[in-house]
Structure 1
């Protein structure tokens, strides 16, 4: 069963776009507040996996408000193209980019991760943070991301996962299922969005199951990096050289 943000009619893709449009003004604050700022560390670690490439051209899928794209440019001196289906999130990203005077090296546009408007073998790397679990069709999204990668190019996926060890697992799940939806809903005025968050994470195929999805999409998994006792995982994979 596909997990959707709302109980109303409409595809998951349409509902996800609407959800992020609704919470865009409070998204950055809630992201850092609810994770106690740890998400910033996870993003830096994900970006560091691309350091071996000199000034790569990077595609940032589900770029949202542009945090990952901005950090990637800051750390790697690279060019980044960000795409998202939420127009309101992209507005926030564009404001950040313009404020920092980076419009010549970072661009964002509305686009669908499952139908990317880019040529085959175009990017040196593709990255996505906390976005793949929102894909309507995971295989289609990963396959199209792989298509745009040059042979030998890297894909870095940062996504929430499920802690496995007692007692942290039980404490975290209690927070995730009950405290986070209440806090997020109260601040964003969209309780459904922060109820969907834990539901989408708990139904997501993490760990080896996600590596299997990468293989099916044509990628070669390299390594998984668990973050903060398994709250999140960074997946590094490569597109086989042709």
Structure 2
């Protein structure tokens, strides 16, 4: 069994505790670095992911690992649901999301709560859709997190997961590996107070079971009609499944 990839390998804290600390540390620069490091492509990925729900017209959406709320805001703009609830383990990230909600006067549409993605405090069969962007690879127990999202979905409800994957085509694979291994941590160190966070990023992507492996894990947990779709030469993928 490979060693669990955690942000701070010299710490005895659990992965979950470390991920919460890491995101609290980088919350102030997170949005800027996200857009900067991805050259703004992350915004396009979110738009594509949310369009997966257009035909479903979900009224109530749960956004897991909501962070600063970017995916939820995209969902509000595109899908106009009655309500989105965002859950995240990092209060630092949620405070940024709360500021955005206040600024955009969206408190009636979008509410955020501190919570564990693997122990969601909602009843079974509550949500029409569940979304996650760049969050599942930070789960301590991936299977448990996926199962709990399935539990809170209504029958017929859809999950949409956006996550980094590993490109397999030359020369994208080589360029991506170089960028992720050297450029990302360097820029992260310059702009963020937490250099470990941007070393953890490539490590967590490298150890994540992407593509068909993740698809099979979703099926194992109980999702139906699972599909995955690589974006931008496989740098990122969208996974969908139905309850």
Give the TM-score of the pair, scaled to structure 2. Answer: 0.97
Q: Which runs of 5 or more structure 1 residues have no equivalent in the other structure? A: none
Distance 2:151 2:206 in 1: 28
How far 1:190 moved relative to its partner?
1.0
Distance 1:82 1:106 in 2: 7
Q: What is residue 231 of structure 2 aligned with on the other side?
A: 227
Give the TM-score of the pair, scaled to structure 1. Answer: 0.97
Which of 198, 202, 205 is equivalent to 1:198? 202
Q: What is residue 132 of structure 1 aligned with on the other side?
A: 136
How far 1:189 moved relative to its partner?
2.1
Cα deviation code 1:60-99 (max 9, x no counterpart): 0000000011110111111210000000100000110111
Distance 1:36 1:211 in 2: 28
Match of 1:72, SS state, is: helix
How far 1:56 moved relative to its partner?
2.2
Distance 1:50 1:118 in 2: 21
Distance 2:56 2:228 in 1: 19
Q: Is the 8 A contact 1:221 1:235 kept in 2?
A: no
How far 1:53 moved relative to its partner?
2.2
Map of 1:52-67 to 2, 5 A cutoff?
52-67=55-70
Which of 28, 35, 52 is equivalent to 1:25? 28
Q: Which runs of 5 or more structure 2 residues have no equivalent in the other structure? A: none
Q: Is the 8 A contact 1:146 1:219 kept in 2?
A: yes
Moved over 4 A (4+): none
Q: Is the 8 A contact 1:124 1:153 kept in 2?
A: yes
Q: Is the 8 A contact 1:214 1:221 kept in 2?
A: no
Distance 2:57 2:216 in 1: 29
Q: Is the 8 A contact 1:58 1:123 kept in 2?
A: yes
CA distance change for structure 1 residues 81 and 18 in 2, over 3 Å: closer, same or farther? same
Match of 1:235, SS state, is: strand
- State the Cα RMSD in Å: 0.8
CA distance change for structure 1 residues 39 and 187 in 2, over 3 Å: closer, same or farther? same
Which of 148, 153, 156 is equivalent to 1:152? 156
Tell me the matched-pair count: 239
